[in-house]
Structure 1
Amino acid sequence: MSSTQLPSGMAVLQNHPLSGLESTYADELAELTVRWQGAEAPDPTLLVVNEQLAQSLGLDVDRLRQEVGILSGGVAPADSTPVAMAYAGHQFGGYAPLLGDGRALLLGELHDSEGRRVDLHLKGSGRTPFSRGGDGYAVVGPMLREYLISEAMFALGIPTTRSLSVVATGRGVLRDGVEPGAVLARVASSHIRVGTFEFAVRREGALGPLADYAIARHYPELIDRPDRYLAFFEAVVEAQASLVAQWMLVGFVHGVMNTDNTTISGQTIDYGPCAFLDAYDPAAVFSSIDQRGRYAFGNQPAVLTWNLARFGETLLGLVATTPDDAISSVTAVLESFSTRYDAHFAAGMAAKLGLGAYTGTLVDDLLTIMEDHRADWTGTFRALAGELRGNPGPLDSLIAREHIGPWLERWRRELAGQDVSTVADAMDRVNPVYIPRNHRVDAALRAATDGDLGPFETLLDVVTHPFERRDAWSDYAGAAPEDFSAGFQTFCGT
């Protein structure tokens, strides 16, 4: 993609708070990008900035507050190379040969406090050559949603892109009605996706440089290995197996697990139609566009396997010169996904239940009880710790004693010989009190869209301290009312 045309008349800021931006992706993989500039924001206003993240990137928060035009995409940092990134992808199983950043820009790369290279990326910054008829804009609600949930995931210890800021643009954007426009500034290990490889493999000479760049950036220990491309595939399979296990352990439903939303780094990306479980239900679907339940909660490990198969297909020509040898090698790695996932899930579930080792039947039986009685996912595990401390009330409010009593006796036998207070404390360290409850998120975003950021700011504080029970936050620990959950849907925001 060779275009270097930028919209004319755009402001360029010479002395700016993002000094030091680099552009190795745009420089080394120019064929996978189009140099571009965001749309000018009529009245950019900073809604929220992540001071801790900014400081970890060596950024001056006060200057960021002053130069919000950069964070809206309407002002180009001098010496930067903003680009729209090209990629393809399988969306709900169907292949789309050209997707790309239809409303986003890669501003460049920074280094965090540990020296790691990260992307600074804008979402909602206007039309690009990949917009496919869309307006390229985003609105306040969905951008604050991504900020809130990505930061909650980070606080839960789950690999994720992070959010630096949300800027209101002063532009009205047509969705169901006219809503206030906004731009999210997102930080990621990179924005290289399975879909990036699906695009590159169909462009002569693009795949090898992309693979080498991704290996050097994310898995540098593999650079000198003669089998580095197969080892690269294995590293991504491992990273994604670990990631989806962590989603399952906290009850996170991504909602749109297309291959262009599967990262090579193993970070969670794209928080459009995501949600968290209240009642445990493997068939739970919240996304309004997932009408057949392809991306239901319980399907997520299988979907990741499918996505990784598409990734493996792109690497066949690099793995071996003989097609049969390449297919055999890649297939063997892919088939290890379920074993890897099972191991990560088992270790995590053992920790959630305070067990020294995973006991499959015990866990399976608990999940059956929880599903049969629509027990709250997050609340049940915290209530089990309370049970060990001699406080049966929270668990009794979720599952009647006659239904869970026999299981509790088996569980206590598994814990025999351990100090139950110590076990309960360990459980509390891995089982959150607070998650972004769907009704709380919905209420906070509605208020923010109407100009009141107070509920959002309070909820952000709560979900970024997920393990710290506080009396003042008691209302944030409970599940949504049944009448809310019955009709609740999430949307992509486009």
Structure 2
Amino acid sequence: MKPTFDQILLTPRFGRLPGHFYSRIQPTPLPSPYLIAWNTELASEMGLASEAEQHPLLANYLCGNRLPQGSEPIASVYSGHQFGVNAGQLGDGRAILIAEYLAPNGQHWEMQLKGAGPTPYSRRADGRAVLRSSIREYLCSEAMHGLGIATTRALGMAGSAQGVWRESLETAAVVLRTAPSFVRFGHFEHYRHDVDSLRTLADWVIEYHYPDCAAASNPYVALLANVVERTALMIAQWQAVGFCHGVMNSDNMSILGLTLDYGPFGFMDGFDAGHICNHSDDSGRYAYQQQPEIGLWNLHVLAQALLPLMDKASALHALQQYQGQFENHFADLLRQKLGLLHWQESDWHLITTLFELMHASRCDWTYFWRNLPQLGAELRDHFQDRGAFDIWFTNYQIRLGSEIHDPTERQVAMNRVNPKYILRNHLAEIAIRKARDEGDFKEIKALQQCLMHPFDEQPHFDHYAALPPEWAAQIGVSCSS
């Protein structure tokens, strides 16, 4: 028999750290919770019982009204830089770690409720999440997983009629999200002046998540180097699919290189190198083209926090690898997107010219890449300067001709890396409106099913691959999202 929530508990390994790393806190009950979504696929991957086999009070487990037997929930404390400014002590203001689960395949999963009420780190906030932001996180974390990008996952979601005030009165919801660990750069920032605690935390992360680092001459340098590489890969993958995180504060950066904290995120529709998905980001600090640089900036913050455990020269050497690693990963992804077998330095010119043309015309990012192998020259109608595109496309054809590659095999290979389906803002908005206005959650399930296989044709989901309607340009997301 596969385990239910009452049978999953392991004391979270993070909860074995000394007590000053966290506070013990019980979730705040949510009145009359109802089930919004249950991730059947993730539950199966984790070896958990199906929705039907779970306790009939599944919604109560998903919102924290009921807890696994013996659960000792905790909220962790951390610090961070927000929009480039040291914000001091932060912490899990609306996230509560309720359990850790050891799956049959040996994978550890921390289980965290997001929106289950205030904690000691809520800073006078209510600790709640609203329906719209919970739906967005649930769908996007699974969409990113489908795209092959490291991310937290969402196991389920419950809602309630309880009112929550943001810009207007909304209703509450809770997402049960999972990850091997939710440790952030900000956890290390918090202990940068407490060497003993800093070392304890670093040793914990190495023991459970980077065991190979333990054999290095300086395990902490090896830890930093590994985090640098994982972060470079993650952000290269973001850039390749047109994903904008929206709020890349250092406390929103995962020590495991996971995409973490889905707030004012967005996948670009029309390509804009300076695209800002977060309407709260007045300066454009976290614009699309800034993300690689901000990734490095945050890594500098992490390295600064770790300096008591290493010499500055070693830290700088680790950080200096980032740019090359990012460029190598990004170049390889672009090579695959273009259908090339081998990357040449001259291909940067081909890419740069294409980006300039796409930016000038706001050509749809996902549509262009997905249709490049089958439409080819016909894509010229999506560009303002069609003559310039013709020149680019001719050069692209010459470049393809320099390699021996069967056209059919090339198209298949390109379709494996250029998604047909992404979580466009208007698709999430439709699902939100149906859930909010009609109590209809079928759209959430349908979108999730589609986004699990973003590279497949899925003709029954073709409407999700259509170009966005005009009203989509009016959708705004902010830090309250």
Q: Give the TM-score taking structure 1 as reference length.
A: 0.91
Flag structure 1 segments of 5+ consecutive residues without an equivalent: 1-14, 320-325
- Correspondence for 2:408 among 418, 421, 432: 421
Q: What does residue 355 of structure 1 align with? A: 340
Flag structure 2 segments of 5+ consecutive residues without an equivalent: none
CA apart distance, 1:179? 1.8
CA apart distance, 1:117? 1.7
Equivalent pair of 2:68/2:99 in contact (CA under 8 Å): no
Q: What does residue 389 of structure 2 align with? A: 404
Measured in 2, the distance between the counterparts of 1:80 and 1:484 equals 43
Q: What does residue 62 of structure 2 align with? A: 71
Matches within 5 A, 1:4-43: 16-43=5-32
Deviation string 1:331-384 (CA, Å, 9 cap, x unpaired) is: 121121110100000000000001122221111111111111111111111121
Whether 1:185 aligns to 2:176 is yes
Equivalent pair of 1:287/1:491 in contact (CA under 8 Å): yes
- Correspondence for 1:478 among 434, 449, 466: 466
Find the residue that maps to 2:305 and give its secondary structure.
helix
Measured in 1, the distance between the counterparts of 2:140 and 2:98 equals 22
Measured in 1, the distance between the counterparts of 2:450 and 2:141 equals 14
Bigger mean CA deviation after superposition, 469-478 or 193-202: 469-478
Find the residue that maps to 2:389 and give its secondary structure.
helix
CA apart distance, 1:18? 4.2
Equivalent pair of 2:8/2:100 in contact (CA under 8 Å): no
- Correspondence for 1:295 among 282, 286, 296: 286
- Correspondence for 1:445 among 432, 453, 465: 432
Bigger mean CA deviation after superposition, 195-204 or 84-93: 195-204
Q: What does residue 51 of structure 1 align with? A: 40
- Correspondence for 1:328 among 313, 325, 333: 313
Measured in 1, the distance between the counterparts of 2:414 and 2:5 equals 46
Measured in 2, the distance between the counterparts of 1:491 and 1:458 equals 26
Equivalent pair of 1:434/1:477 in contact (CA under 8 Å): yes
- Correspondence for 2:105 among 86, 97, 114: 114
Find the residue that maps to 1:77 and give its secondary structure.
coil
CA apart distance, 1:161? 0.3
CA apart distance, 1:460? 2.1
- The AA in structure 2 aligned to 1:275 is G
Whether 1:432 aligns to 2:419 is yes
Measured in 1, the distance between the counterparts of 2:179 and 2:447 equals 23
Deviation string 1:195-215 (CA, Å, 9 cap, x unpaired) is: 010012234521011001111
CA apart distance, 1:471? 3.2
Q: What does residue 323 of structure 2 align with? A: 338
Equivalent pair of 2:7/2:69 in contact (CA under 8 Å): no
- The AA in structure 2 aligned to 1:123 is K
Equivalent pair of 2:71/2:99 in contact (CA under 8 Å): yes
The change in CA–CA distance for 1:436 and 1:307 in structure 2 (over 3 A counts) is same
The change in CA–CA distance for 1:385 and 1:214 in structure 2 (over 3 A counts) is same
Query: Hey, which bits of structure 1, 4+ residues long, moved more than 4 A?
Result: none
Equivalent pair of 1:37/1:76 in contact (CA under 8 Å): no
Measured in 2, the distance between the counterparts of 1:309 and 1:239 equals 15
- The AA in structure 1 aligned to 2:204 is Y
Equivalent pair of 1:118/1:187 in contact (CA under 8 Å): yes
Find the residue that maps to 2:23 and give its secondary structure.
strand
Find the residue that maps to 2:155 and give its secondary structure.
strand
- The AA in structure 2 aligned to 1:279 is G
Find the residue that maps to 2:411 and give its secondary structure.
helix
- The AA in structure 2 aligned to 1:403 is A
Bigger mean CA deviation after superposition, 395-404 or 90-99: 395-404
Whether 1:462 aligns to 2:471 is no
CA apart distance, 1:259? 0.4
Bigger mean CA deviation after superposition, 146-155 or 467-476: 467-476
The change in CA–CA distance for 1:18 and 1:41 in structure 2 (over 3 A counts) is farther
Measured in 1, the distance between the counterparts of 2:112 and 2:425 equals 26
The change in CA–CA distance for 1:285 and 1:65 in structure 2 (over 3 A counts) is farther
Equivalent pair of 2:195/2:308 in contact (CA under 8 Å): no
Equivalent pair of 2:22/2:75 in contact (CA under 8 Å): yes
The change in CA–CA distance for 1:117 and 1:16 in structure 2 (over 3 A counts) is closer
Find the residue that maps to 2:11 and give its secondary structure.
coil
Q: What does residue 4 of structure 1 align with? A: none
Q: What does residue 84 of structure 1 align with? A: 75
Find the residue that maps to 1:378 and give its secondary structure.
helix
CA apart distance, 1:113? 4.2
Measured in 1, the distance between the counterparts of 2:237 and 2:207 equals 26
Find the residue that maps to 2:339 and give its secondary structure.
coil
- Correspondence for 1:387 among 357, 375, 382: 375
Find the residue that maps to 1:17 and give its secondary structure.
helix
Measured in 1, the distance between the counterparts of 2:10 and 2:162 equals 27
Find the residue that maps to 1:292 and give its secondary structure.
coil
Find the residue that maps to 1:55 and give its secondary structure.
helix
Find the residue that maps to 1:109 and give its secondary structure.
strand
Measured in 1, the distance between the counterparts of 2:290 and 2:149 equals 19
Q: What does residue 285 of structure 1 align with? A: 276
Measured in 2, the distance between the counterparts of 1:378 and 1:65 equals 41
Q: What does residue 362 of structure 2 align with? A: 374
The change in CA–CA distance for 1:245 and 1:65 in structure 2 (over 3 A counts) is farther
Equivalent pair of 2:240/2:330 in contact (CA under 8 Å): yes
Measured in 1, the distance between the counterparts of 2:443 and 2:41 equals 21
- The AA in structure 2 aligned to 1:375 is C
- Correspondence for 1:244 among 232, 235, 245: 235
Measured in 1, the distance between the counterparts of 2:195 and 2:295 equals 27
Measured in 2, the distance between the counterparts of 1:122 and 1:16 equals 14
CA apart distance, 1:65? 5.1
Q: What does residue 164 of structure 1 align with? A: 155
Equivalent pair of 1:179/1:449 in contact (CA under 8 Å): no
Q: What does residue 146 of structure 1 align with? A: 137
Equivalent pair of 2:6/2:67 in contact (CA under 8 Å): no
Measured in 2, the distance between the counterparts of 1:453 and 1:33 equals 35
Find the residue that maps to 1:163 and give its secondary structure.
strand
CA apart distance, 1:444? 1.4
Identity %: 37
Measured in 1, the distance between the counterparts of 2:55 and 2:274 equals 43
The change in CA–CA distance for 1:76 and 1:478 in structure 2 (over 3 A counts) is same
The change in CA–CA distance for 1:143 and 1:232 in structure 2 (over 3 A counts) is same
Find the residue that maps to 2:449 and give its secondary structure.
helix
CA apart distance, 1:247? 0.1
Measured in 2, the distance between the counterparts of 1:170 and 1:63 equals 23
